[in-house]
A and B are shown apart, each in its own frame.
Chain A
Amino acid sequence: MTKYIKRHDSMKRLWHWSNIISCVFLAVTGAFLFIPGLGEVLGFDTLRAGQVIHRVFAGVFIGMTVISFILRPSNLIHSMQHIFAPWDEDDKKFMKVFFPYLFNPKKYHMPKQHFVKSGQRVSDFFMYLIIFFISITGIILWAGDAVPTWLFALALFGHDLCFFGFSLLIIIHIYLGGGIFEPYHRIPGLMLGKGYVRESDALYHWGHWAEEELASGENVIEVEPGEKVPFAK
Chain B
Amino acid sequence: MAESAILFDASRCTACKGCQIACKQWNQLPSPMSNDDYTFSGSFESPLENDGDTWLHIGFREELGGPNGIAWAFSRVSCQHCTDAACVSACPSSACQYTESGAVIIDPEVCIGCKYCVAACPFGVPKYNERETISRKCWMCQDRTGEGQSPACVKTCPAGALNFGARPDMIAAAHTRLDAIKATFPEAIVYGENELGGLHVIQVLPYGAEAHGMPVDPQVPLLRQLSDFLKPAAAVGVAATLAALAVSFVRSRSYDRDPDELHYDPESREVVSIAAESKKGDE
Seen from chain A, the residues whose Cβ lies within 8 Å of a Cβ on chain B are 3, 32-40, 44, 47-48, 51, 102-106, 141, 144-145, 149, 152-154, 156-157, 160-161, 163-164, 167-168, 171-172, 175, 180-183, 199-200, 203-204, 207, 210-211, 214-215
Interfacial chain A residues near B120, Cβ < 8 Å:
153
| CB contact under 8 A between A199 and B262, given known A39-B93, A156-B116 | yes
Name 23 A/B residue pairs within 8 A (Cβ), A-sorted: A33-B92, A33-B116, A34-B234, A35-B231, A37-B94, A48-B112, A51-B113, A102-B252, A103-B248, A103-B251, A104-B251, A105-B251, A106-B254, A141-B115, A144-B128, A149-B118, A153-B224, A156-B116, A164-B230, A164-B234, A175-B249, A183-B257, A203-B263
Whether A32 lies near B255 (C-beta < 8 A) is no
Whether B93 lies near A51 (C-beta < 8 A) is no
Whether B227 lies near A156 (C-beta < 8 A) is yes
Residue of A whose beta carbon sits closest to that of B263: A199
Q: Does B241 contact A (CB under 8 A)?
A: yes
Interfacial chain B residues near A167, Cβ < 8 Å:
234, 238
Which of B109, B227, B269 has the largest count of A CB atoms less than 10 A from its CB? B227
Whether B231 lies near A34 (C-beta < 8 A) is yes
Which of A38, A200, A210 has a CB less than 8 Å from the CB of B261? Answer: A200
Which of B92, B238, B257 has the largest count of A CB atoms less than 10 A from its CB? B92
Closest 10 CB pairs of A and B: A153-B119, A40-B94, A182-B252, A203-B262, A33-B92, A164-B234, A39-B92, A214-B264, A200-B262, A157-B223
Q: How far is the CA of A156 from the CA of B114 in the complex (A)?
A: 10
| CB contact under 8 A between A156 and B223, given known A44-B93, A149-B119, A183-B255 | yes
For the complex formed, measure the closest distance between the CB of B102 and the CB atoms of chain A, giving whole angstroms: 21
Whether B255 lies near A51 (C-beta < 8 A) is no
For the complex formed, measure the closest distance between the CB of A85 and the CB atoms of chain B, giving whole angstroms: 22
Which of A36, A168, A172, A183 has a CB less than 8 Å from the CB of B231? Answer: A36
For the complex formed, measure the closest distance between the CB of B280 and the CB atoms of chain A, giving whole angstroms: 18
| CB contact under 8 A between A47 and B93, given known A149-B118, A154-B223 | yes
In addition to A103-B251, A157-B227, A182-B249, 6 A-B residue pairs with Cβ atoms within 8 Å of each other are A34-B92, A44-B93, A171-B238, A181-B245, A183-B252, A215-B266
Whether B238 lies near A181 (C-beta < 8 A) is no
Q: Does B180 contact A (CB under 8 A)?
A: no
Interfacial chain B residues near A3, Cβ < 8 Å:
263
Q: How far is the CA of A34 from the CA of B257 in the complex (A)?
A: 41
Instruction: Classify the interface of chain A: helix, strand, loop or mixed.
Output: helix
Residue of B whose beta carbon sits closest to that of A157: B223
Name the interface residues of B65-109: CB closer than 8 Å to any CB of A: 92-94, 109
Whether B271 lies near A203 (C-beta < 8 A) is yes
Per-position binary interface string of chain B over residues 116-133, scored 1 when its CB falls under 8 Å from any chain A CB and 0 otherwise: 101110001000101000
Whether B245 lies near A175 (C-beta < 8 A) is yes
Whether B124 lies near A210 (C-beta < 8 A) is no
Q: How far is the CA of A154 from the CA of B227 in the complex (A)?
A: 10
Q: How far is the CA of A230 from the CA of B114 in the complex (A)?
A: 47
Q: How far is the CA of A164 from the CA of B226 in the complex (A)?
A: 13
Whether B224 lies near A181 (C-beta < 8 A) is no
Q: Does B186 contact A (CB under 8 A)?
A: no
Q: How far is the CA of A157 from the CA of B262 in the complex (A)?
A: 48
Q: Does B237 contact A (CB under 8 A)?
A: yes
Residue of A whose beta carbon sits closest to that of B247: A103
Q: How far is the CA of A163 from the CA of B253 in the complex (A)?
A: 30
Interfacial chain B residues near A211, Cβ < 8 Å:
264, 269, 271
Interfacial chain A residues near B37, Cβ < 8 Å:
none
Residue of B whose beta carbon sits closest to that of A217: B266
Residue of B whose beta carbon sits closest to that of A5: B264
Q: Does B221 contact A (CB under 8 A)?
A: yes
Interfacial chain A residues near B248, Cβ < 8 Å:
102-103, 175, 181
Interfacial chain A residues near B36, Cβ < 8 Å:
none
Whether A168 lies near B115 (C-beta < 8 A) is no
Q: How far is the CA of A183 from the CA of B112 in the complex (A)?
A: 46
Q: How far is the CA of A149 from the CA of B49 in the complex (A)?
A: 13
For the complex formed, measure the closest distance between the CB of B18 and the CB atoms of chain A, giving whole angstroms: 29
Q: How far is the CA of A36 from the CA of B235 in the complex (A)?
A: 11
Q: How far is the CA of A14 from the CA of B220 in the complex (A)?
A: 45
For the complex formed, measure the closest distance between the CB of B215 and the CB atoms of chain A, giving whole angstroms: 14
Whether B255 lies near A105 (C-beta < 8 A) is yes
Q: Does B242 contact A (CB under 8 A)?
A: yes
Q: How far is the CA of A164 from the CA of B270 in the complex (A)?
A: 44
Whether B230 lies near A160 (C-beta < 8 A) is yes
Which of A32, A51, A149 has the largest count of B CB atoms less than 10 A from its CB? A149
Interfacial chain B residues near A104, Cβ < 8 Å:
251
Q: How far is the CA of A185 from the CA of B29 in the complex (A)?
A: 62
